[in-house]
Amino acid sequence: MQKITPFLWFKDNAEDAANFYVSVFKNAKIVNVMRYGDAGPGPKGGVMLVNFELDGGTFTALNGNPEFTFNHAFSLVVHCDDQAEIDHYWQALTADGGSEVACGWLKDKFGFSWQITPKNIGELLRTPQQMQAMMTMKKLDIAALEAAGASH
């Protein structure tokens, strides 16, 4: 069991979010769904917590209330092997109401922030030209970043 688990607070759609994330990642599964009992505070039988795994990492989603919402201060980074993997996660996570932000950042349809980056991002941002190129991108383009570095 991992020592630290990200705990994501949703208004009332934790189970929908967990099922969506599990559908996006290949090595993923719902581990457990905890439901409210007679003591509440939610409706009896309603989802309280969903424990799920994404590529070996454990996460917990809670149905809280609308008091707290997601912002860019917390995001998950997906380290991708190649452009096809970047394209896959970008398309899946921006679908159905998600939005592109900048520099490899996006918000999914639940308002949660993700960073979709090549695993060798450090190598791709060695020069000022590469950094400038990245600043103009929403979805990162590995070939364009490599070309910006070659022009140095």
pLDDT at 152: 65
Output DSSP code: residue 96: G
What digits encode the pLDDT tens for the residues 95-143?
999 999 999 999 999 999 999 999 999 999 999 999 999 999 999 999 9
Query: Is-cis flag, bond preceding 6, omega within 30?
Result: no
Q: Which residue has the higher pLDDT, 109 or 2?
A: 109
What digits encode the pLDDT tens for the residues 54-87?
999 999 999 988 888 999 999 999 999 999 999 9
Q: Do domains 7-63 and 75-150 have the same CATH topology?
A: no
Q: Distances from the Cα of 40 to the Cαs of 44, 50, 147, in angstroms? A: 6, 16, 57
What are the sequence ranges of the domains in the chain? 7-63, 75-150
- Report the predicted TM-score, pTM, of the whole model to 2 decimal places: 0.93
pLDDT at 41: 86
Superfamily the domain 75-150 falls into: 2,3-Dihydroxybiphenyl 1,2-Dioxygenase, domain 1 (3.10.180.10)
Fold category of 7-63 in CATH: 3.30.720
- Name which of 52, 64, 46, 43 is nearest 5 in CA terms: 52
Contact 23, 93 (CB under 8 A): no
Contact 75, 105 (CB under 8 A): yes
